[in-house]
């Protein structure tokens, strides 16, 4: 893990500011002589900069994007808890779920006093890092779900820097459905009596419930019935599906923080590539010149394929592919091999 620190005032889109920011990031491979082999990956809500770990089929030694060929960068998003500036502080020593203390002058936690951020703020932080790394062109910018939100924004903001795009399970605006899901998740966090305590443990029960709500939208009816149906017809309690959902909530609490989750769902709600650009999403898409691969997952109930098809219809130079996966929205991470095959094929077509 590397850390980039910018000591300049970072003015936020919604009106607040941060006195400086820290960005935690991973790189894999080497920049080639003419700096033309950069692949930048934007991660989704609860992932982190170690993309080779969470997207192994797609990025890494055995993936479509290999460090032998590309200089791969992935940065932890602003507002998260994996080392970048966020509600629980930043820098080495801050634990993933915010528990721990910053070392080496790392930033202190602001908790609920942390200002509102948007997807554009995340992108502007990535741009600072891009410049710091001496990268002039990004050959391929890619992301799924909220990672795709950042990729789209970045491709609009720096049209001359981003050469190609790969977008999966994502959309040019947050849908009313997504906003409603996030509102329900924040209600769960806010209902926790420890919420807003000035502690990294605040809101953990609420976070568990919020993740449980999220899982219902990251999966779907089919996979739940297929994997979690009880065979014991005599049961009256202790069902597998209930235990699965509870376990998923508990697992997230061990690696994520309620303040960050609350803040990042707000940032997702703000996603709209037409904002301050005339409001016309289709016109903004038509103005994007990058060669773009778009993948939708047929069973995705959070960002349904209709959203990706809509993007493909308006982006001037795109290839659109639907993949079948039982996993729904999270198929964008689980189906690494299928995704890698389409990505390789698209990249080799030039």
Ligand X SMILES: CC(=O)SCCNC(=O)CCNC(=O)[C@H](O)C(C)(C)COP(=O)(O)OP(=O)(O)OC[C@H]1O[C@@H](n2cnc3c(N)ncnc32)[C@H](O)[C@@H]1OP(=O)(O)O
* Binding interface with ligand X (CB under 6 A): 46-48, 53-54, 228, 240, 243-244, 247-248, 255, 330, 333-334
Contact call for residue 150 and ligand HSE (CB under 6 A): no
Of the candidate spans 13-21, 42-50, 112-120, 319-327, the one that interacts with ligand HSE by CB under 6 A turns out to be 42-50
Q: Among residues 22 and 217, whose Cβ is nearest to ligand HSE?
A: 217
For the four alpha carbons of 310, 56, 344 and 324, in that order, the dihedral sign comes to negative
Q: Put residue 60 in one of left, alpha, beta given phi > 0 → left and psi -120 to 50 → alpha.
A: left
Contact call for residue 114 and ligand HSE (CB under 6 A): no
Dihedral, CA atoms, 341, 222, 45, 186, nearest 10 degrees? 170
| Alpha-carbon gap, residue 133 to 55, rounded angstroms | 23
Contact 3, 22 (CB under 8 A): yes
Residue 146 binds what, of ligand X, ligand HSE, none (CB under 5 to 8 Å, by partner type)? Answer: ligand HSE
DSSP secondary structure string for all residues of 38-54: EEEEE--TT--S-HHHH
In the three-class reduction of DSSP (H, G, I as helix; E, B as strand; rest coil), residue 183 is classed as helix
Residue 251, phi then psi, degrees to nearest 5: -65, -40
Contact call for residue 146 and ligand HSE (CB under 6 A): yes
| Alpha-carbon gap, residue 301 to 305, rounded angstroms | 9
Which entry of 300, 318, 325, 342 is annotated as an active-site residue?
300
Which entry of 49, 80, 84, 145 is annotated as an active-site residue?
145
Active site residue 36: no
**Strands across the sheet with 2-6, in order?**
2-6, 21-28, 71-75, 38-42, 140-144, 164-168, 291-297, 318-323
Identify the residue among 23, 41, 47, 155 touching ligand HSE (CB under 6 A). 47
Q: List the helix and strand counts (H, then E) for the chain.
A: 12, 10
Contact 329, 217 (CB under 8 A): yes
Contact call for residue 188 and ligand HSE (CB under 6 A): no
Nearest distance in Å: CB 108, ligand HSE: 26
Contact call for residue 260 and ligand HSE (CB under 6 A): no
Residue 244 binds what, of ligand HSE, ligand X, none (CB under 5 to 8 Å, by partner type)? Answer: ligand X
Q: Among residues 45 and 123, whose Cβ is nearest to ligand HSE?
A: 45
Q: Which residues contact 313 (CB under 8 A, 6 or more apart)?
A: none
Active site residue 126: no
211 is in an annotated binding site: yes
Of the candidate spans 41-49, 75-83, 175-183, 309-317, the one that interacts with ligand HSE by CB under 6 A turns out to be 41-49
Contact call for residue 284 and ligand HSE (CB under 6 A): no
Contact 111, 26 (CB under 8 A): no
Q: Which of these, 216, 93, 85, 217, lies nearest to 146 by C-alpha position? A: 217
Residue 240 binds what, of ligand HSE, ligand X, none (CB under 5 to 8 Å, by partner type)? Answer: ligand X
Residue 312 binds what, of ligand X, ligand HSE, none (CB under 5 to 8 Å, by partner type)? Answer: none
| Alpha-carbon gap, residue 19 to 8, rounded angstroms | 7
Nearest distance in Å: CB 35, ligand HSE: 30
Nearest distance in Å: CB 56, ligand HSE: 15
The Cα angle at residue 346 between residues 293 and 217, in degrees rounded to 5: 40
Nearest distance in Å: CB 17, ligand HSE: 27
Active site residue 139: no
Contact call for residue 145 and ligand HSE (CB under 6 A): yes
Residue 138 binds what, of ligand HSE, ligand X, none (CB under 5 to 8 Å, by partner type)? Answer: none
As annotated, the binding site for substrate includes 211, 330
Positions marked active-site: 145, 300, 329
Give contact residues for ligand HSE (rule: CB under 6 A). Answer: 44-47, 145-146, 218, 330
As annotated, the binding site includes 211, 330
């Amino acid at each position: 893990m590397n850390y980039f620190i910018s000591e300049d005032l970072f003015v936020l889109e919604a009106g607040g500011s941060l006195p400086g920011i820290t960005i935690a990031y991973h790189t894999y491979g080497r920049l080639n002589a003419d700096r033309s082999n950069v692949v930048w990956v934007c991660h989704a809500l609860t992932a982190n900069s170690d993309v080779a770990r969470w997207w192994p089929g797609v990025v890494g030694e055995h993936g479509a994007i290999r460090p032998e060929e590309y200089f791969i960068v992935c940065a932890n998003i602003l507002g998260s808890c994996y080392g970048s500036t966020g509600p629980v502080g930043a820098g080495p020593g801050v634990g993933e779920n915010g528990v721990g203390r910053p070392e080496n002058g790392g930033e202190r936690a602001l908790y609920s006093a942390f200002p509102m951020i948007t997807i554009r703020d995340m992108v502007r932080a990535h741009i600072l890092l891009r410049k710091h790394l001496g990268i002039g062109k990004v050959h391929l910018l890619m992301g799924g779900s909220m990672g795709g939100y950042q990729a789209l924004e970045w491709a609009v903001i720096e049209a001359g820097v981003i050469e190609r795009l790969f977008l999966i399970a994502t959309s040019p605006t947050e849908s009313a459905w997504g906003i409603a899901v996030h509102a329900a998740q924040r209600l769960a966090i806010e209902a926790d009596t420890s919420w807003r305590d000035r502690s990294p443990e605040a809101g953990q029960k609420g976070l568990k419930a919020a993740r449980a709500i999220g899982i219902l939208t990251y999966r779907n009816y089919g996979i739940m019935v297929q994997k979690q149906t009880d065979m014991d017809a005599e049961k009256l309690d202790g069902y597998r599906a209930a235990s699965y959902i509870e376990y998923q909530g508990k697992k997230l609490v061990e690696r994520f923080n309620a303040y960050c989750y609350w803040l990042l769902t707000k940032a997702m709600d703000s996603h709209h590539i037409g904002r301050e650009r005339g409001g016309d999403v289709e016109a903004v898409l038509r103005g994007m010149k990058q060669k773009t691969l778009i993948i939708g997952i047929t069973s995705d109930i959070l960002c349904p394929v209709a959203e990706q098809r809509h993007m493909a219809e308006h982006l001037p130079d795109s290839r659109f592919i639907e993949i079948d996966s039982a996993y729904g929205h999270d198929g964008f991470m689980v189906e690494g091999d299928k995704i890698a095959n389409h990505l390789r094929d698209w990249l080799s077509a030039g």
